[in-house]
Amino acid sequence: MSDVFVGSLMSSPVHTIDASASIEEAGNLMLDNGIGSVIVVDDDGRLEGILTATDFVHVVARGDSEPTATVGSAMSTDVITTTVNESIQTAADVMLEHGFHHLPVVDDESEVIGVVTTTDLTAYLSSEGPNA
């Protein structure tokens, strides 16, 4: 796995949203596209945060589930990223260490260019298995 790189497994293009968008809009984007997260970017496409299904659970548990609540009020901002040239082994180790299911992929200017997920890693491992 150390000779396979994130760029070959990542999903791209990425579904993104603005921090000022409503939670409802983000939820509909996720449901409509069958995804577990949306990447929050600024006007230049630079990473500001990530909103995941887990973040929605926190919103509901805190009682902040007003439809007018913004993505910015619920997103995670301490986002760890990776690059296309990182090995998938390293990306998987980071995801396991932090309990992440989504790892944004950025370029040299911190512009989001993709995302690698546990689903991407599982699909890869499945295709490489003994019966593949």
Q: Would residue 1 count as lying in a domain?
A: no
Residue 1, SS3?
coil
Q: Would residue 44 count as lying in a domain?
A: yes
Q: Would residue 47 count as lying in a domain?
A: yes
Average pLDDT, the chain: 89
- Which CATH number covers residue 91? 3.10.580.10
pTM: 0.86
The pLDDT value recorded for residue 22 is 93
Alpha helix ranges (H) inside the chain: 6-9, 23-33, 53-62, 71-74, 88-98, 118-127
Q: Would residue 57 count as lying in a domain?
A: yes
Q: What confidence tens digit (pLDDT) does each residue in 54-74 have?
A: 988 888 888 766 767 899 999
Q: What confidence tens digit (pLDDT) does each residue in 95-113 have?
A: 999 999 999 999 988 899 9
Domain count, the chain: 1
Q: Are 47 and 104 in contact (CB under 8 A)?
A: yes
